[in-house]
């Protein structure tokens, strides 16, 4: 039987993206995304439970994410969990889970970067809205 590893996250960026390039020229962009859910504790008080995810995006999507995303921006991320091992400053071996994104969609209203095209795989900003993207002239999605 085949196995499957997929995660979908809709949340808000906790910091601005950071991009770097590998020696072969491949772009890698890293950022963190927070999701928050409300739960009631034993006393009936509502509590916010926040979960942080470390995201890495590769290639053209990395460049688009770096250009258009910023701290506080809402984003949809689809990808797979990857396990990373490292040694902390005290010499202890640690394990962390990261998300290697396969699809990044920019959500929420446009900021000052009104040239945003809505397509994570686009090679750059567009000067006019693309009617096929589902985004109207005023930046609203029609559904």
Provide the β-strand partners of residue 86.
Answer: 94
Instruction: Give pLDDT, residue 105.
Output: 93
- CA separation, residue 59 to residues 25, 27, 128 (Å): 9, 5, 24
**Side-chain half-sphere CA neighbours of 102 within 13 A:** 9
pLDDT band at 41 (very low <50, low <70, confident <90, very high): confident
CA distance 126 to 113: 11
Q: Which domains does the chain have, with CATH numbers?
A: 7-39+47-113 (2.40.50.140)
Instruction: Give pLDDT, residue 143.
Output: 33
Instruction: Give pLDDT, residue 96.
Output: 87
* More confident position, 108 or 141: 108
**What value does the mean pLDDT take over residues 40-53?**
91
Instruction: Give pLDDT, residue 51.
Output: 93
**What value does the mean pLDDT take over residues 60-72?**
94
Tell me the average pLDDT of the chain: 80
**What value does the mean pLDDT take over residues 11-40?**
95
Instruction: Give pLDDT, residue 111.
Output: 57
Q: What is the pLDDT of residues 94-126, one digit of tens each?
A: 988 899 999 999 997 765 443 333 343 333 333
The backbone torsions φ and ψ at residue 138, rounded to the nearest 5 degrees and listed phi first, read: -90, 10
Highest mean pLDDT among 16-20, 86-90, 95-99, 123-127: 16-20
User: What are the structure tokens assigned to 44, written together?
Assistant: 């009936």
Tell me how far the alpha carbon of residue 26 is from its chain's centroid.
18
* More confident position, 115 or 13: 13
Its pTM stands at 0.69
- Are 47 and 39 in contact by the 8 Å Cβ rule? The answer is yes
């Amino acid at each position: 039987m085949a196995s499957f590893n997929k995660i979908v996250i809709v949340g808000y960026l906790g910091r601005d993206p950071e991009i770097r390039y590998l020696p072969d020229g491949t772009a890698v962009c890293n950022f963190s995304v927070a999701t928050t859910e409300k739960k009631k504790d034993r006393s009936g008080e509502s509590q916010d439970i926040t979960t942080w995810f470390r995201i890495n995006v590769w290639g053209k999507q990395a460049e688009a994410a770096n250009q258009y995303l910023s701290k506080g921006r809402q984003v949809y991320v689809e990808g797979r969990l990857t396990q990373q091992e490292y040694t902390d400053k005290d010499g202890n071996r640690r394990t962390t889970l990261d998300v290697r994104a396969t699809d990044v969609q920019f959500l929420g209203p446009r900021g000052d970067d009104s040239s945003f095209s809505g397509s994570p795989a686009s090679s750059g900003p567009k000067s006019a809205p693309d009617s096929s993207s589902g985004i109207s002239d005023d930046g609203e999605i029609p559904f």
